[in-house]
């Protein structure tokens, strides 16, 4: 045996001993590959998350809230879902953090330090709804692969930063610009430095909106590490994957950005409706832009038992991607009748809106409270699952909680 090979295998063996597990077929594992050491860090402590949050995945970290945890009008970090595609960057040195602007449609590439960004451009704060494109995936049938989000991959925090538009004006963008694509410091899961974990983006029209920020603060503090510290692109109302974390480069493209998870089936749905389980070719998949109308009952928690009373205060939030929510109604008879809720206006465009109602139950028994929001174009949330799609995106079926009146 060649000594080099022996040493390679011996070191894998040593690693296996350290991990307390056996690695079979070590020889088949590519050279330079470091097997997964289970991250022994507690994500709840590591990222300051509430213990009631649900951990879906620990490599990469993926965690979601439960509906009742999202009761705050402005989502605190401890209840904010985490959707990571790669590995959280380590040893971030803020004093050396830079962001490069390049791409075909840039006049001259330009680099800013983080402090230059902060000092050169005006700061804005917006409350912005970020929902994972796959929120609700767990309900699709046939099932779709990926993290099986239920209802809690949505948040609406306050984001502070500079307008991407202001920075792009300073950089100088050519007239043929079509799309921006971001790049972040998160490493691909395979630890291959030549692979991006994710590199998505938005069309110029979205990039130039007032509310599209290069943010450095969340809820008035430095952005938490899991949510993109020290710099995050925030494009509210679109799949949250468009809001790239740990941003260090933005390319201005003269084509639709073709980075990782922009192409194929990622964050895309069939361009025309398909039957459940139907095969769809990549060419027939279209990029998700604005998220659909949706709502959550955040109080009470599902499973409430009412004794000695027949009325119940309910509340929650509703949002509609780029649009506003025009109406929220509830039903306690499985959709046979609907009663309007009180609906507040949004703090700003792209922020979720709060609804509330007093529900009166006619008699004892088992009830489900369903809530259905309507967007400013008049579209309702469906009560059943919306159109099946291969990757299980855009499930905006109405939220339901169970209540017993005794």
Residues of the shown chain interacting with another protein in the complex, contacts defined by CB under 8 A:
3, 7, 9-10, 12-14, 16-17, 21-30, 33, 35-36, 38, 55-60, 138-139, 141-143, 145-148, 189-190, 192, 195, 300-309, 312, 368, 383-385, 397, 400-402, 404
Nearer to another protein, 111 or 311 (CB): 311
CB of 97 to another protein, least distance (A): 28
C-alpha 214/C-alpha 159 separation (Å) is 9
Shortest CB 18 distance to another protein, Å? 10
- Phi and psi at 332, nearest 5°, equal -115, 10
32 C-beta neighbours (distance < 10 Å), count: 8
Shortest reach from residue 374's CB to another protein, in Å: 19
Query: Phi first, then psi: what are they for 284, rounded to 5°?
Result: -95, 15
Q: Which is nearer to another protein, 33 or 176 (CB)?
A: 33
Nearer to another protein, 120 or 195 (CB): 195
Closest to another protein by CB, 178 vs 397, is 397
Helix/strand/coil for 151? coil
Q: Which is nearer to another protein, 239 or 386 (CB)?
A: 386
- Closer residue to another protein (CB): 95 or 281: 281
State the minimum distance, in angstroms, from the CB of residue 216 to another protein: 30
User: Both tokens of residue 320?
Assistant: 């509609």
- CB 283 to another protein: min, Å: 17
Q: How far apart are CA 125 and CA 166, in angstroms?
A: 14
| CA–CA distance, 140 with 121 (Å, rounded to integer) | 44
Q: Long-range contacts: 306-312, Cβ < 8 Å, 24+?
A: 306/361, 306/403, 306/404, 306/405, 306/406, 307/406, 310/360, 310/361, 310/362, 310/405, 311/358, 311/359, 311/360, 311/361, 312/358, 312/359, 312/361, 312/403
CB of 261 vs another protein, minimal distance in Å:
10
């Amino acid at each position: 045996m060649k000594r080099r090979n022996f040493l390679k295998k011996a070191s894998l063996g040593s690693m296996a001993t350290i991990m307390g597990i056996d690695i079979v077929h070590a020889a088949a594992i590519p050279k330079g590959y470091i097997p997964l050491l289970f991250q022994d860090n507690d994500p709840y402590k590591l990222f300051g998350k509430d213990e009631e949050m649900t951990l879906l995945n620990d490599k990469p970290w993926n965690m979601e809230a439960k509906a009742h945890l999202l009761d705050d009008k402005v989502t605190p970090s401890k209840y904010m879902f985490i959707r990571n595609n790669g590995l959280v960057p380590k040893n971030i040195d803020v004093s050396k953090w830079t962001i490069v602007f390049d791409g075909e449609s840039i006049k001259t590439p330009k680099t800013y330090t983080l402090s230059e960004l902060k000092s050169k451009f005006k700061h804005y704060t917006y409350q912005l709804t970020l929902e994972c494109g796959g929120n609700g995936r767990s309900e699709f049938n046939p099932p779709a692969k990926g993290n099986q989000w239920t209802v809690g991959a949505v948040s609406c925090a306050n984001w502070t930063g500079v307008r991407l538009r202001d920075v792009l004006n300073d950089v100088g963008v050519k007239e043929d610009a079509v799309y921006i694509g971001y790049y972040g410091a998160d490493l691909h899961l395979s630890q291959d430095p030549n692979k991006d974990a994710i590199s998505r983006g938005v069309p110029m029209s979205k990039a130039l909106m007032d509310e599209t920020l290069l943010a450095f603060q969340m809820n008035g503090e430095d952005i938490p590490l899991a949510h993109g510290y020290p710099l995050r692109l925030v494009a509210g109302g679109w799949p949250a994957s468009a809001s790239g974390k740990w941003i260090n480069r933005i390319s201005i493209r003269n084509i639709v950005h073709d980075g990782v998870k922009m192409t194929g089936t990622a964050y895309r749905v069939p361009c025309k409706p398909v039957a459940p389980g139907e095969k769809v070719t990549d060419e027939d998949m279209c990029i998700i832009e604005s998220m659909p109308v949706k709502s959550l009952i955040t109080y009470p928690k599902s499973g409430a038992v009412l004794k000695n009373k027949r009325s119940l205060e309910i509340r929650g939030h509703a949002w509609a991607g780029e649009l506003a929510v025009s109406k929220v109604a509830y039903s306690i008879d499985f959709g046979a009748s609907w009663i309007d809720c009180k609906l507040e206006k949004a703090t700003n465009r792209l922020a979720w809106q709060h609804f509330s109602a007093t529900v009166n139950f006619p008699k004892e028994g088992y009830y489900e409270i369903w809530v259905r929001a309507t967007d400013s174009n008049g579209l309702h949330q469906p009560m059943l699952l919306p159109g099946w799609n291969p990757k299980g995106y855009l499930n905006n079926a109405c939220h339901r909680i169970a209540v017993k009146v005794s």
